[in-house]
Amino acid sequence: MAFVVKSKVMSAATQNLLNASGATSSATSESATNGASPASVNGAPTSGGPGVHGSRQGAGTASSSSPTFSPLYQQIKSLITRSLQSGEWKPGEMIPSEVELAGRFKVSQGTVRKAIDELSAENLVVRRQGKGTFVATHHEARAQFRFLRLMPDAGEPHPADSRFLEVKRMRGPAEVARLLDIKSGDSVIFIKRVQAFDGAPTILEEIWLPGTLFKGLTAERLNEYKGPMYGLFETEFGTRMIRASEKIRASAADEAVSALLSVPVGTALLSVERVSFTYDDKPVEVRRGLYLTEHHHYQNELS
């Protein structure tokens, strides 16, 4: 008696959407033949009332055991993320409307909405009322300053100009390899550059990238490219930085650094070690920056 549900509703409520994209809606024998089902008795349909749902517990071995079952909207979110990752919708493009996605996934618009809400909160997509939902991109003023926290003490923030000192392929140092989750000795691209604001050298950076993902990255490509480096990575190499983790310390300038930043030896500098991640929390960049904080500061909001 407990399984008198409409098949469509059943599929929306119990189906694990992460398996097939166009799965037909038929009750799985697994859950149908399950003996001790949870107390999910669907009463009479109350005359065309709102949605009626069955249990979401997949395999009811015991009521206390809780296997890895996530809410529907989380599954939708994963599916959308997967499409973003695979490049089905490219940065800057519009993704299908909520109504269309709801139809595609056989769920209500509200469920799709909740999934997209979270993706929007994570800056993977950007919602624009009246227009649509768009894949986030680093080619926007909006997204620039998420990964650039060094602000001038006075005046508006403006982009620095880069001078590349070194761009080469090399074997990854052990520490870098560890952070990039690759084998020590695997090929990496190494970049060393100085950034200046209004002619004043301020940032000395060393960057390591996995050689497999960034094959073909040369000094020319970097010099030609206008705009943020992450924009280049996104457009030319199909790798989008999603989030990053930074460890900040204070350190004193040694002779080499002193010469490149035009400061005395021993000058106190901010040392920022960053590991950036793309989809699936995969690390794809290690960066060590030395910031001269004479006229700039690292801005951080605690909330």
Nearest distance in Å: CB 156, DNA: 24
Residues 6+ apart with CB under 8 A from 22: none
Rule CB under 8 A: is residue 279 a binding residue for a copy of itself? no
Q: Does 30 bind DNA (CB under 7 A)?
A: no
Q: Does 63 bind a copy of itself (CB under 8 A)?
A: no
Using CB under 8 A as the binding rule, whether residue 303 contacts a copy of itself is answered as yes
Q: How many CB atoms lie within 10 A of CB 156?
A: 6
Task: Please select the residue that binds DNA; options are 27, 53, 182, 221, rule is CB under 7 A.
Answer: 53
Q: Which of 87, 103, 110, 238 binds DNA (CB under 7 A)?
A: 110
Q: In the complex, what is the shortest distance from the CB of residue 114 to DNA, in angstroms, rounded to a whole number?
A: 6
Q: Does 192 bind a copy of itself (CB under 8 A)?
A: no
Given DNA, a copy of itself, none, residue 56, with its beta carbon under 5 to 8 Å by kind, binds: DNA
Helix (H) or strand (E) holding 98: helix 98-105
At residue 276, the 3 state secondary structure works out as strand
Secondary structure class of 152 (helix, strand, coil): strand
Any idea how long the chain is?
A: 303
The interface with a copy of itself within residues 127-156 (CB under 8 A) comprises: 146-147, 149
Which H/E stretch holds residue 261? helix 255-261
Of 129, 218, 131, nearest to 169 by C-alpha is: 218
Given the structure tokens 């074997």, which residue do they identify?
A: 171
The answer to whether 267 contacts DNA (rule: CB under 7 A) is no
What the block records as the tokens of 211 is 């050689």
Spatial distance between the Cα atoms of 271 and 269, rounded to a whole number of angstroms: 6
Minimum CB separation from DNA for residue 27, in Å? Answer: 15
Considering CB distances under 5 to 8 angstroms, the limit depending on partner class, which of a copy of itself, DNA, none binds residue 34? none
Candidate residues 65, 66, 86, 300; the one interacting with DNA per rule CB under 7 A = 66
Does position 131 interact with DNA (CB under 7 A)? The reply is: yes
| In the complex, least distance from residue 273 CB atom to a copy of itself, rounded to whole angstroms | 8
By CB under 7 A, tell whether 103 contacts DNA.
no
CA 9/CA 53 separation, integer angstroms: 6
Total interface residues for a copy of itself by CB under 8 A? 32
Number of other residues whose CB lies within 10 A of the CB of residue 155: 10
DSSP state letter for 287: E
Stretch that binds DNA, among 131-139, 194-202, 247-255, 290-298 (CB under 7 A): 131-139
Does 228 interact with DNA (rule: CB under 7 A)?
A: no
| Order of strands, sheet of 125-128, starting from the edge strand that comes earlier in the sequence | 94-95, 132-135, 125-128
Q: Which is nearer to a copy of itself, 193 or 296 (CB)?
A: 296
> Can residue 283 be called a binding residue for DNA (CB under 7 A)?
no
> Given the rule CB under 8 A, which of 90-98, 118-126, 157-165, 220-228 is the region that contacts a copy of itself?
118-126
Q: Please, are residues 58 and 69 in contact by the beta-carbon 8 Å criterion?
A: yes
Do strands 132-135 and 125-128 pair parallel, antiparallel, or not at all (unpaired)?
Answer: antiparallel
Measured from the CB atom, is 46 or 303 closer to DNA? 46
Tell me if residue 245 falls in helix, strand or coil.
strand
Q: Which two tokens mark 85?
A: 């990752």
CA 24 to chain centre: 31
Q: Which residues bind DNA (CB under 7 A)?
A: 9, 12-13, 38-43, 46, 49-57, 66, 71-74, 95, 97-100, 106-111, 113-114, 127-133
